[in-house]
């Protein structure tokens, strides 16, 4: 193959010798027709994928990575079309083959694993039916033979007891099991290429690791090439040899994944790599003199955390002692079974620090946040805030509590009222607590917007016009309006793209040092914890597994579960370039 530094998106035949690529995409253009005219979504994308190789397309939401994949599969939404370029797959141009031919290629030669395992299985049919449906569509097997093959497929997908699993329905499967089924379906016809669109982004890290490992075994066994579509650089570095970095519909960097991540050359890739949280990340500098911890301008974080430790816990602003939450689960009719969502949890958060509560889904971490916010009742145990019991906080002084403890929730799309302007939303806490006049509130709104680095004209806009990261910054501005002491951040950055996430985390760190805020940071993402937290509480099934300072947990985890979580972080040990 010719030396590739001059490969300026060749539109003709690639200068290749020997092997031909399995998939050769050249100058692919995709255009969407909208009310505002034609909008180009993918512009001049080119890359190669050889048999048995894995390729990852990374980029933020809206970068065109999924559109590229759907264009190759001819599954574009009805207002989209391939407006130029080609995608040669095994000698056939996928952008030109007939619809009938494409139906034959999809499933048989190109398998597809969709993003959301929760909505991509039909809830009214059992698993066996759905697997058989794919098998019958892509082979000559019928009846008993198809059924036998379906059992094989599920077995390959790593499900235990596939025979009886066949008769179960999707709602009886966990997210991980559903994703296994979808991978099984995608691989059932032994395709040459498998397109996996964010295959594990909806799953817990430990489940994600098992599924990716299984997928790797399966695809290398059959020599299947995999095209990952992902926003996760760590996953790309760990699972793919080839990397395509997309930004605003264009390829900004393409090549060997480890090489790119170790030495990113395009400013966008550099930015992306710099923002990617990994175990090698460091605590964002926040400490201020006020909390008795010296700020270290050189960015060496070790002494800071140790200092916080050595401080002998100045004053615990939040103290949680033996807290338990029991829900009654209705099991048909009038029967109820008690379910312990949170089981005897204790921790303390000193003023001005960040406590991260980490756990997978169902660990009870969000329930703790809800109880502390007084959105759920505490079954037993005590939570105190500034020396006062939260559970028995007098009702008439509730407003006072609400003023000092403010929440920021996970879903940036749900947390702002779509019918109210941004200015109204941010001013709402001020209005509710009767602070200031109309004019002074408007001034405060402008100041708050400035604090979260948004132009003051944003006040007149509506949530629908803003991106997820912008909405989350507005949610933070709203939470800050009352000058609270504590922010409860419930998965507040989990739904954001890496760059935007980094931006919000930096903002949070700045605000903490400026205003001396205390954070209760609920998350499933250990890599993020490393960047923001002083102390970590690891939870599993309602119980505390491990609690220590962040450095201790990351460098010297005592419990196996914590180690599992750390190891499961994709590309966790990979050193990203600067």
**Using the 8-state DSSP alphabet, how is residue 125 labeled?**
S
How far apart are CB 429 and other proteins at their closest, in Å? 4
From 133-141, 177-185, 205-213, 471-479, give the range in contact with other proteins by CB under 8 A.
Answer: 471-479
Give the count of residues interacting with other proteins (CB under 8 A).
77
SS3 of residue 136 by DSSP: helix
Candidates 207-215, 295-303, 451-459, 528-536; binding stretch for other proteins (CB under 8 A): 451-459
Site for other proteins in 474-493 (CB under 8 A): 475, 478-479, 482
> Going by C-beta distance under 8 Å and a sequence separation of 6 or more, which residues neighbour residue 530?
277, 279, 281, 282, 283, 550, 554
CB of 399 to other proteins, least distance (A): 5
- Which residue lies nearer to other proteins by CB, 188 or 470? 470
Burial class (CB in 10 A: 0-12, 13-18, 19+), 175: middle
- Told to check if 365 binds other proteins by CB under 8 A, we report no
Q: Phi/psi of residue 252, each to 5°?
A: -100, -25
DSSP annotation string for 256-286:
EHHHHHHS--SHHHHHHHHH---TT--PPP-
Site for other proteins in 305-324 (CB under 8 A): none
Candidates 131-139, 205-213, 468-476, 561-569: pick the segment binding other proteins (CB under 8 A): 468-476
- The full DSSP string for 315-381 is -EEEEEEEEEEEEEEE-STT-EEEEEEEEEEEEEEETT-EEEEE--TTSSHHHHHHHHTTSS--SEE
CA nearest to 69, candidates 202, 228, 189: 228
421, 442, 451, 541: residue in contact with other proteins (rule CB under 8 A): 421
SS3 at position 58: strand
- Decide whether 105 or 495 has the Cβ nearer to other proteins: 495
Q: Which of 455, 516, 560, 573 binds other proteins (CB under 8 A)?
A: 455
Per CB under 8 A, contacts with other proteins among 73-102 are 79
Q: Which of left, alpha, beta for 501 (phi over 0: left; psi -120 to 50: alpha)?
A: alpha
Nearer to other proteins, 146 or 454 (CB): 454
Q: Least CB distance from residue 1 to other proteins, whole Å?
A: 6
Residue closer to other proteins (CB basis): 154 or 459: 459
Which own/partner pairs from 214-221 qualify as long-range (CB within 8 Å, at least 24 positions apart)?
214/157, 214/158, 214/180, 214/183, 215/183, 218/156, 218/157, 218/183, 218/187, 219/54, 219/187, 219/194, 220/52
Does residue 52 bind other proteins (CB under 8 A)? yes
Alpha helices in 45-142 (DSSP H): 65-72, 99-108, 127-138
Of the candidates 92, 190, 214, 266, which one interacts with other proteins according to CB under 8 A? 266
Considering only residues 394 to 413 of the shown chain, the ones binding other proteins according to CB under 8 A are 398-399, 402-403, 406-407, 409-411
* By the rule CB under 8 A, 469 interacts with other proteins: yes
In DSSP notation, 482-506 reads T--SEEEEESTTTTS-HHHHHHHHH
For other proteins, which stretch binds (CB under 8 A), given 106-114, 156-164, 244-252, 315-323?
Answer: 244-252
Among 200, 367, 470, 537, binds other proteins (CB under 8 A): 470
Q: Does 169 bind other proteins (CB under 8 A)?
A: no
Contact flag: residue 27 with other proteins (CB under 8 A): no
Residue placing its CB nearer to other proteins in the complex, 10 or 292: 10
Residue 71 or 251: the one with the smaller Cβ distance to other proteins is: 251
Euclidean distance between CA atoms 442 and 430, whole angstroms? 10
Among 158, 429, 557, 571, binds other proteins (CB under 8 A): 429
Q: Is 576 in the site for other proteins (CB under 8 A)?
A: no
Cβ at position 254, least distance to other proteins in Å: 4
* Residues of span 267-286 touching other proteins by CB under 8 A: 267-268, 271
Using the minimum distance from each CB to other proteins, give the nearer residue, 493 or 545: 493
Minimum gap (Å) between residue 432 Cβ and other proteins: 5
Query: Residue 111 or 429: which CB sits closer to other proteins?
Result: 429
Asked whether position 7 contacts other proteins by CB under 8 A, the answer is yes
Q: DSSP of 395-445, one letter per residue?
A: GGGHHHHHHHEEEE-S-TTTSS-TTS-HHHHHHHHHHHTT-S-HHHHHHHH
Buried b (16+ CB within 10 A) or exposed e, 35-60: eeeeebbbbbbbbbbbeebbbbbbbb
Rounded Cα–Cα distance for residues 457 and 449 (Å): 9
Closest CB to other proteins among 369 and 544? 369
Interface stretch with other proteins, choices 83-91, 255-263, 525-533, 560-568 (CB under 8 A): 255-263
Q: Is 26 in the site for other proteins (CB under 8 A)?
A: no
Q: Is 220 in the site for other proteins (CB under 8 A)?
A: yes
Tokens of 303: 């002494």
Instruction: For residue 502, give the nearest of 474, 482, 480, 532 by alpha carbon.
Output: 532
Determine, following the binding rule CB under 8 A, whether residue 378 of this chain makes contact with other proteins: no
Among 254, 385, 521, 574, binds other proteins (CB under 8 A): 254
Closest CA to 202 of 119, 112, 110: 119
């Amino acid at each position: 193959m010719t030396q590739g530094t001059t490969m300026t998106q060749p539109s003709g035949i690639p200068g290749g010798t020997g092997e031909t690529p399995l998939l050769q995409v050249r100058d692919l253009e995709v255009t969407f027709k909208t009310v505002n005219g034609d909008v180009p979504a993918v512009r001049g994308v080119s890359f190669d994928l050889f048999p048995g190789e894995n390729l990852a397309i990374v980029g933020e939401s809206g970068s065109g990575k999924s559109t590229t994949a759907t264009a190759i599969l001819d599954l574009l939404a009805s207002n989209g079309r391939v407006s130029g370029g080609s995608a040669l797959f095994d000698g056939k141009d996928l952008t030109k083959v007939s619809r009938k031919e494409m139906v034959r290629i999809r499933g048989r030669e190109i398998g597809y694993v969709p993003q959301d395992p929760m909505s991509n299985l039909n809830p009214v049919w059992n698993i066996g039916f759905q697997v058989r449906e794919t098998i019958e569509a892509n082979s000559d097997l019928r009846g008993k033979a198809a059924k036998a093959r379906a059992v094989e497929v599920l077995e390959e997908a790593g499900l235990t007891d596939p025979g009886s699993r066949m008769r179960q329905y999707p709602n009886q499967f966990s997210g991980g099991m559903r994703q296994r089924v979808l991978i099984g379906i995608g691989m059932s016809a032994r395709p040459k290429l498998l397109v996996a669109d964010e295959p594990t982004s909806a799953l817990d890290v430990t489940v994600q690791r098992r599924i990716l490992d299984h997928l790797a075994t399966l695809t290398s066994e059959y020599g299947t090439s995999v095209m990952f579509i992902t926003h996760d650089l760590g996953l790309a570095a760990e699972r793919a040899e080839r990397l395509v970095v997309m930004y605003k519909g264009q390829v900004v960097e393409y090549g060997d994944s480890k090489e790119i991540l170790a030495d990113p050359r395009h400013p966008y890739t550099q930015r992306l790599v710099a923002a990617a949280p990994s175990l090698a990340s460091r605590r964002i500098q926040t400490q201020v003199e006020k909390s008795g911890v010296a700020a270290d301008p050189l960015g060496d974080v070790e002494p800071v955390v140790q200092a916080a430790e050595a401080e002998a816990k100045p004053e615990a602003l939040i103290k949680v002692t033996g807290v338990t939450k029991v829900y009654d689960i209705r099991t048909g009719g009038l029967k109820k079974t008690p379910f312990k969502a949170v089981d005897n949890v204790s921790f303390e958060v000193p003023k001005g620090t960040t406590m991260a509560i980490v756990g997978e889904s169902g660990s009870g971490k969000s329930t703790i946040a809800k109880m502390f916010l007084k959105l759920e009742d505490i079954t037993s145990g005590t939570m105190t805030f500034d020396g006062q019991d939260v559970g028995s906080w007098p009702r008439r002084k509730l407003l006072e509590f609400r003023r000092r403890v403010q929440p920021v929730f996970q879903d940036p799309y749900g947390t702002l009222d779509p019918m109210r302007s941004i200015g109204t939303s941010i001013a709402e806490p001020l209005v509710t607590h009767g602070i200031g006049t109309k004019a002074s509130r408007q001034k405060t709104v402008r100041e708050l917007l400035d604090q979260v680095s948004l132009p003051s004209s944003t006040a007149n806009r509506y949530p629908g016009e803003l991106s997820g990261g912008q909405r989350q910054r507005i949610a933070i501005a709203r939470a800050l309006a009352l000058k609270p002491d504590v922010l409860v951040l419930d998965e507040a950055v989990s739904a954001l793209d890496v760059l935007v996430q980094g931006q919000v985390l930096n903002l949070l760190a700045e605000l903490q040092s400026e205003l001396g805020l205390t954070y209760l940071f609920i998350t499933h993402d250990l890599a993020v914890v490393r960047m923001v937290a002083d102390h970590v509480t690891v939870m599993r099934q309602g119980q505390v597994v491990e609690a220590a300072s962040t450095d201790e947990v990351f460098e010297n985890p005592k419990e196996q579960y914590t180690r599992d979580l750390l190891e499961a972080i994709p590309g966790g040990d990979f050193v990203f370039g600067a």
